[in-house]
Structure 1
Amino acid sequence: MEPLTATRLQVRKKNSLKDCVAVAGPLGVTHFLILSKTETNIYFKLMRLPGGPTLTFRINKYTLVRDVVSSLRRHRMHEQQFTHPPLLVLNSFGPHGMHVKLMATMFQNLFPSINVHKVNLNTIKRCLLINYNPDSQELDFRHYSIKVVPVGASRGMKKLLQEKFPNMSRLQDISELLATGAGLSESEAEPDGEHNITELPQAIAGRGNMRAQQSAIRLTEIGPRMTLQLIKIQEGVGEGNMLFHSFVHKTEEELQAILAAKEEKLRLKAQRQDQQAQNVQRKQEQREAHRKKSLAGMKRARAEADGDSDAEDPGAPPEAEGPGQEEEDEAEYFRQAVGEEPDEDMFPNARRRRPIGLSGKKQRVKEQKQPNGGGDRRPPKAKDRPWGAQAKLGPRGTTWDNGRGRGRTRPPKRVA
């Protein structure tokens, strides 16, 4: 199919047919040739883009290019042959049905048309032959290389113009080369005659191929070979209505029933789409109404909370800003910093806290039972001995007796 191929179109395993169809338009791709294999057969699909149809063939026989070339003694495979599209030859595509005519049209559209009055013969290097057999309903796919050789020259001239002669070392007689072919293809063993000798309208590149001179046209097969059988024709690209099927035949009533069922399916689908569109519209209207209602309620609540926006702020009550509140805050700060109740003369207006766990009456009774009256005063010194020199005290709050007299109790240290 060179050179009319999309070489920049690369297909990966994760790509689907829809992805390829999406990029086919910008790349100018008009046809898809798809090969697939199942457990039983190999299939070949020919698709026309962008709207179809799709032709599905079953490959009954095939031969690869390397197998065809390896069977030839003198093959003709070079890059210059693929710089121009091949010449398409359709054979036996007569009035055998609409499906045969559609096949011929599809194959013709694969290659550009040729104007026989303006064509350059030097651009025709290959030939694609598709032969239709009406009896077996199979297509023979063949691909040849074209060679033009002058005829009618003298023996000395032929010796100068000929290419490498085939090796006949294994042959007993030259008749074996012409009769059996001796490993050559049919085109190589084909002799020149009226069937392939013609008068050239143009000069063709080659030795002795001049205008208005007779030359022989020889074909050398380069492959691949395929024997195809049409299975079905679909209306769309890989899907759609079945236009033709080789094995399934339906009556007119069955076709009408299928069409009616398909129309009913399309009608139900359109009805569901309309219902969905109406539901979406209704939900949007409900959300819009709810939003407006919510905004109105928020504005009304904000207006009620604000009240008269022109009224002056009265401020805090006067009793909360008096000196008693300030002394109360300082007394609370003293309690948190020192961990004790402040003296009465420090904050006279602050309220005194009661100790946790004791009522007022019990607290007074406990203070009366203390030997010093519950105060922070140091006990008086003994008359017979001085403080600190006569008594030996232990830890604070404990009594020591040094044998000279009765011990005393040292009050615990207080932190101010």
Structure 2
Amino acid sequence: AKQNAEYEREDLKKAPHTFVIARGKVGNNVGQLVKDMRRVMEPFTASNLKVRKKNVLKDFVAVAGPLGVTHLVIFTKTDKGVNMKFSRLPRGPTLSFKVDSYALCKDVLSTLKRQQTYASQFQHSPLLVLNNLAREGMHFKLMSTMFQNMFPSINIHRLKLNTIKRCVLFTYDPDTNMVDFRHYNIKVVPIGMSRGVKKLLQSKVPNLKKYEDVSEYILGGGNLSESEAEPDGDQNEVDLPQQVAGRGNEASQKSAIRLTEIGPRLRLQLVKIEEGLCEGDVIFHQFVTKSAKEIEELKERREEKKMIKAQRKAEQDANIKKKEQLKEENKQRSLAGIKRKQKDNTAVNEENPEDSSDDDTKYYRQEVGEEPD
């Protein structure tokens, strides 16, 4: 048990952590979307992170290292729409997406007849599923790698099924060139039982006052409507290797896995991939294609800007050093002058002790009006 506890603590340290923030004026809806995305990334995120207007990107990079934060998700809003960026800290790369459409958690949950939300859902990270992203192209590999590294890896030998409560799905649609993001709750229910028996196994006892015997309730289908019946099939039936929370979910027994969407919902279009953290060479661009000559010219221009910036910084450092040196020299000259003046005053007093005494006597006579003793 002690070894398992140490292993879990080590896993927590190694797990990827994420900041989800908004930059600039984004409005209430995008602000709520930021909160919903933080909910998705729990528990390895700063759920109550406060972002001030004066905060810049360097502030988050500075605190990311000590806190073990590995990724940054940024929402921005312009006149043309909402944008979303996924960045690897501290040096990139950065994937920039255009948010074609989105739905908040409250909007998704409002469409459900039976909502599947509870606090313990977010005590463990979600399971990641990538669909149709294993395609040719460097940008697909970068997308897959970025999404995979944002969530903790799974050790199938130590995995506890009771910790898998949620699922995050990224699906690429080749017809629209969009990536769909979905967030689901995972529920495991036993199969091979009638609807009435399933109803009896629930934690809430059904109302049986209309029946003379419990067999009438079971044979009658548990008084369930057709809309409450969820069809199971080979596509979602599994043999459980472990006992899972829930009545009837025993090890080595068949159970059905059911997914219920809990939001948020996003439809994303990849725009560009930058080599650095929101800057640097553009590795991929969806709409702009440059020739080798143009790329080389841009690279030279960028290098020239870096050289000018480094030169300015060196000049500023030299000026600061020069000012500090002058300040220190002035300080030393002032101290030397003070010491010299004190030394001169001491020498004068030693040479003319009587004058000093006469001055004191005269002062006493003027102030007191009497002769000193």
**Where on the TM-score scale, by shorter chain, does this alignment land: which range?**
0.5 to 0.7
- 1:106 is paired with a residue whose SS is helix
Unaligned stretches of 5+ in structure 2? 1-40, 207-224, 334-347, 353-373
8 Å CA contact 1:232–1:242 kept in 2: the answer is: yes
User: For 2:273, which of 203, 212, 233 is the aligned residue?
Assistant: 233
Q: Say if 1:6 and 1:29, in contact at 8 Å, map to a contact too.
A: no
- Counterpart amino acid of residue 248 in structure 1: V
**Relative contact order, higher structure (CA 8 A, sep 6+):** 2
Q: For the structure 1 residues 216 and 22, does the alpha-carbon distance in structure 2 shift closer, same or farther, using more than 3 Å as the test?
A: same
Other-structure match for 1:260? 300
After TM superposition, give the deviation of residue 27 of structure 1 in Å. Answer: 2.4
| Shift in CA distance, 151/253, structure 1 to aligned 2, threshold 3 Å | same
1:123 to 140, 143, 163: 163
Q: Secondary structure at the match of 1:147?
A: strand
Q: Aligned ranges for residues 46-125 of structure 1 at < 5 Å?
A: 46-125=86-165
Q: Which residue of 2 aligns with 1:158?
A: 198
2:71 match = 31
Residue number among 177, 180, 186 corresponding to 1:140 in the alignment: 180
**In 1, Cα distance between equivalents of 2:75 and 2:169:** 20
The residue type equivalent to 2:60 in the other structure is C
Distance 1:261 1:58, change over 3 A: same
Indicate the residue corresponding to 1:11 in structure 2.
51
Q: Is the 8 A contact 2:273 2:283 kept in 1?
A: yes
Matched, 1:195 2:235: yes
2: CA distance, partners of 1:3 / 1:42: 26
Task: Please say if residues 202 and 247 of structure 2, whose CA atoms lie closer than 8 Å, have aligned partners that are also in contact.
Answer: no
Secondary structure (helix, strand or coil) at the match of 2:303 reads helix
Counterpart amino acid of 2:239?
E
- 1:21 alignment partner, SS class: helix
Q: CA deviation at 1:4?
A: 0.9
In structure 2, do the counterparts of structure 1 residues 96 and 161 end up closer, same or farther at CA, with 3 Å as the change threshold? Answer: same
Q: Aligned partner of 1:244: which letter?
A: F
Give, in angstroms, the shift of residue 226 of structure 1. 0.7
Cα offsets for 1:263-286 (capped at 9, x unmatched): 233334445556667778889999
Task: Give the corresponding residue for 1:298.
Answer: none
Deviates more, 1:25-34 or 1:51-60: 25-34
Alignment coverage as a number of residue pairs: 293
* 8 Å CA contact retained: 2:281, 2:299: no
Q: Percent identity?
A: 56
Q: Distance in 2 between matches of 1:141 and 1:20?
A: 25
Q: Paired residue for 1:204, among 237, 240, 244?
A: 244
> Aligned with 1:217: secondary structure?
strand
Instruction: State whether residues 96 and 134 of structure 1, in contact with CA within 8 Å, keep that contact through their aligned partners in structure 2.
Output: no
Deviations 1:322-348 (A, max 9, x none): xxxxxxxxxxxxxxxxxxxxxxxxxxx
2:182 partner amino acid: R
Unaligned stretches of 5+ in structure 1?
A: 166-176, 183-187, 294-308, 314-416
Distance 1:157 1:15, change over 3 A: same
The 1:57/1:156 distance shift into structure 2, 3 A limit, reads closer
| 1:213-252 map, 5 Å | 213-252=253-292
**1:162 Cα deviation (Å)?**
5.3
TM-score normalised over the length of structure 1: 0.60
Cα gap change, 1:291 to 1:212, in 2 (>3 Å): closer
Higher helix share: 2
Cα distance, 1:51 vs. partner?
1.0
